[in-house]
Amino acid sequence: MQIKLFTIPTGDSGSAQQEMNTFLKAHKIQEIEQQLISNNNGACWCFCVRYLETVFSAASESKVKVDYRQALDEPTFQKFSNLRAIRKQVAATEGLSAFIVFTDEELAELAKLEDITIKSMLGIKGIGEKKVERYAHYFMAKPETNETPGPVA
């Protein structure tokens, strides 16, 4: 974790604030501490910003949106649509944003699977043990049985 300090005079024209805002937008911020300092020379805000070294780039923010209706064949797209409906219900039940449950990219990969199993889910990029543990049971097909209890004839 890195630390950067900003000092912004209370009478700042906006340039020091702009410098700090530009920095904040470009880095993954962990914590900000602030304090108003006053002395004979005037007053200023002091900010201690703790951030991760990772810098976001415009390229990473502008992912190309995939049209899954075009990218998937019709049966796979129907399965994808059903999985999205399940994801929407799960997100509502869990009080989460839908993309936190599974992204569209992860759902598209799930839709391509013949059978959704824990093992096959773990093979999809972005789906780890925590997601499987928490959400897999919503998406795995329940075995259908047409059997009635009783002796075998």
Q: Can you tell me the mean pLDDT for 83-100? A: 92
Per-residue pLDDT tens digits for 102-144: 999 999 999 999 999 999 999 999 999 999 999 999 998 754 4
How many residues are listed for the chain in this entry?
153
Token pair for residue 87?
């994801």
Query: Which of 39-43, 44-48, 136-140, 148-152 shows the lowest mean pLDDT across its residues?
Result: 148-152
Instruction: Give the CA distances from residue 138 to residues 10, 78, 102, in Å, rounded to whole numbers and listed in that order.
Output: 54, 17, 12
Which amino acid is located at 152 in the chain?
V
pLDDT of residue 153: 45
pLDDT at 6 over 90: yes
Exposure pattern of 95-123 as b/e (b: 16+ CB <10 Å)? eeebeebbebebbbbbbeeeebeeebbee
Q: Is 83 exposed, middle or buried (0-12, 13-18, 19+ CB in 10 A)?
A: buried
Residue 10, CA atoms < 13 Å, CB-side half-sphere: 9
Each residue's pLDDT tens digit, 67-76:
888 889 999 9
